[in-house]
Structure 1
């Protein structure tokens, strides 16, 4: 053979990320930047955050006064008749009366039982909770991104490996034909080689199809044209120095679900306190500046034109001593909601502890499997080298050579799968511990 499978696989492992230099390589950091900028789910979450930020502003707090302007005008036309003191009678036909008015009213609540104070606090907590929800969406999307990204990288390695396997099978067919022509073997070896080429070709076609489908899935997450072409970076680097105890501590402090439920508890507490404002009075301040003018052209009118303007102010107190029990019911329900959030926190704490333990076990198990697969790959490489040398000398059959080739092929693919499984397990653990956005990929 002109090339051994061992050599081609070794070259693939060393230069695989650069084997398709003619195509654009989408680096991991570029993929992150693209998904943060373009992913539709993240954009929706950010818009929701903007809404909550607006709600938490001073303009929605109830602390600012309200100012109302009112203006109006009327025109009356009527016939009238009047008797004077001396007995004379006077009539006015089509007498017109015009009235105009305008006013500005200022209303300000001085005290509302602290309801708006706790509502404002609740809006602030909701804004911060919304920010955490954006982070949760980003973490989930990035984990989804790399699940697809690393699958594309694995399929890229698999496709390259199958291409090399097909080349080996073609070279083996050529040798089998030469040997048959010179009477060194039977036609059975040629037929076996042709069958193996067909099998390798089908496997390669299926792998290429899976790779194309996965690339479309990746473009969908990145919100790119589904036909965009690029190559995934097959380099995998693991985060060093991870320890179970540290992961548990990080999860308790930084897990986004834990932080979101903390905000939910604070919101429920403020809602409970705000609901009790119905027991207290409301004190308000009102001020009005008004202008009125009336014009009457009737000869019977006492004054033909009257104009008045001025300022009035008042302080009012309103106290709903009993509202049919609605406030009592609202307070009770708000207290129950607060207790439910406390129970939800305990549930999430247990789930997070379970999740981090499961993730750690999956991560360490995946690393062990990767180590075993690397050793298995080395063993199969050595076995194939010996079989390849003996096959050249005619000491093993083509069937034995093919079996050694398949063993090495399966070992390469298993090692590649184990590598990406371990990386995904690591990312899942980092997400649960709240560290996913703090590491380099």
Structure 2
């Protein structure tokens, strides 16, 4: 083995098998990545907490129909100088007259009818809970799509490293052949130098590609909500489903897209707001009641011609029914009704806008998907042709029938074709993932 070849193998070993690297790597399947992401992804966890708030609000909805009971205790003190003058009589003066008043009561308020707003609020809470569920679903689907794209990005960058390693192997053969030819006197030294320059260029490209792979792993770890420095190797390949039809995807999108459904829920909320504003014109009926204790002590106090102490005490029930009928409030009710109607119309327009946006996005994504499927078939054949051409070129180079420049061109053509195929596979998979996300079938398929 030539010294240069030994150095090259040592370099590859140092790059690919760093100390402790192989033993520290985990084998991460796509299924495992999805499971970890659904459990740890921060966006999903934040959306889940928002949904919990909506569930809690809905869980206490019936309490709005119940009365409110409050307890109140008060202790009041006062100190005054009193002077009473009765016609021509001498004035009666009392200095430092003190008052000591104690109040304790239990108050009950029960709204029996408020124009139906209690029931409207109940329906609003149900809609808010539904909106929270749809938000969580949309967040999960978006996060899942991001995880799939990030996982296959790691696969793509890993495969590109394999292609570069194949190119380095060819460059190494070229260096060995050139060295042997030089030793027997059939090749000039400049050919050895040119072969080594190309070999070093391939090694440099490998180092750059390894950086891209490391960045892709960090991005995936971030989506999985774990330490970005965790190293792993992917085990799945990029398998593209070539049988998606636009009709099926479009019908599923209109029926199940969570963003579209959330806008529909927002329209329901706007309708409830309109009904609530209209109900302000209706009377409200409430029941009030209290049980209280009152004690007042005033010392000293004037009783006619006598100065003494006055004490009074009350304890008992108070109850009644109150009817409130709005007559005029500065046209504020009309303002609220008009604004609610405008908001309802706005949500209707927003629904149509989102529907149009999704249809446009679907058309663009499907066109990209079909194009990548066609390119995929073409690039697969190109890789076979480029590989055959590179093999033939290497054999002709061994026989001295091909120049180094022509061999290098055949080698680069093979590498470019392989990388182009890898990119097309990734782009086709990304388009497939986006189509499934738009149709809200991505989560269902990956949960099975």
Query: Normalization by structure 1: what TM-score?
Result: 0.86
Residue 329 of structure 2 corresponds to: 323
Name the structure 2 match of 1:15: none
Question: Structure 1 residue 386 and structure 2 residue 392: aligned?
Answer: yes
Residue 69 (structure 1) aligned to one of 53, 68, 71: 71
For 1:199 and 1:384, the matched residues in 2 are separated by 18
Distance 1:200 1:81 in 2: 109
Partner of 1:231: 233
**Structure 1 residue ranges without an equivalent (≥5):** 2-19, 83-89
Equivalent position of 2:123 in the other structure: 121
- Residue 182 (structure 1) aligns with: 184
Q: Is the 8 A contact 2:299 2:309 kept in 1?
A: no
Q: Which moved more, 1:349-358 or 1:382-391?
A: 382-391
Partner of residue 314 from structure 1, selected from 306, 315, 320: 320
Query: Are residue 208 (structure 1) and residue 214 (structure 2) matched?
Result: no
Normalising by structure 2, report the TM-score: 0.84
Question: For 1:386 and 1:144, how far apart are their aligned partners in 2?
Answer: 42
Quickly say closer, same or farther: Cα 1:61–1:424, change in 2 above 3 A.
farther
> Any idea what SS the aligned residue of 1:226 has?
coil
**Equivalent pairs, count:** 421
Deviation of 1:435 after TM superposition, in Å, equals 1.0
- The corresponding residue for 2:104 is 102
Alignment of 1:263-302 (within 5 A): 263-294=265-296
1:203–1:224 CA distance, 2 compared to 1 (3 A): same
C-alpha separation in 2, matches of 1:169 and 1:261: 59
2:46 is aligned to 44
**Residue correspondence of structure 1 range 75-224 to structure 2 within 5 A:** 98-224=100-226
With over 3 angstroms needed to count, the CA separation of the structure-2 counterparts of 1:329 and 1:162, relative to structure 1, is same
SS of residue matched to 1:284: strand
Supply the distance in 1 between the matched residues of 2:278 and 2:410 (Cα, whole angstroms). 79
Distance in 2 of aligned mates of 1:397 and 1:79: 121
- The alpha carbon displacement at 1:102 in A equals 1.0
Among 364, 385, 400, the alignment partner of 2:370 is: 364
How far residue 243 of structure 1 moved from its aligned partner, in angstroms, is 1.9
Cα shift at 1:258: 1.4
- What's the CA shift string for 1:117-156, capped at 9, x where partnerless? 2122122212211221122222222222333322222111
Q: CA deviation at 1:104?
A: 0.3
Compare 345-354 and 421-430 and name the one that shifted more: 345-354
Any residues of structure 2 matched to 1:325-344 within 5 Å, and which?
A: 325-344=331-350
Structure 1 range deviating more: 218-227 or 132-141: 218-227
User: Which stretch shifts more, 233-242 or 223-232?
Assistant: 233-242
Residue 415 of structure 1 corresponds to 421
Answering whether residue 429 of structure 2 is matched by residue 427 of structure 1, we say no
Match of 1:10 in 2: none
Shift of 1:64: 2.5
1:262-301 deviation line (CA, Å, top 9, x unaligned): 1111111111111101111111011111123356787969
CA RMSD, aligned part only?
3.1
C-alpha contact 1:67 1:105 (8 A) present in aligned 2: yes
Q: In 1, are the aligned partners of 2:61 and 2:122 still within 8 Å (CA)?
A: no
Q: Secondary structure at the match of 1:287?
A: strand
Deviates more, 1:229-238 or 1:313-322: 229-238
Pick which of 298-307 and 37-46 moved more. 298-307
Q: 1:247: Cα distance to partner?
A: 0.9
**Partner Cα separation in structure 2 for residue 240 and residue 66 of structure 1:** 63
- On the 8 A contact 1:356/1:432 being kept in 2, the answer is yes
1:77-132 CA-partner distances (Å, limit 9, x unpaired): 789999xxxxxxx9999887654321100101111111222122122212211221
Are 1:359 and 1:429, in contact at CA under 8 Å, matched by a contact in 2? yes
Q: 1:74 to 1:356 in 2, by over 3 A?
A: closer
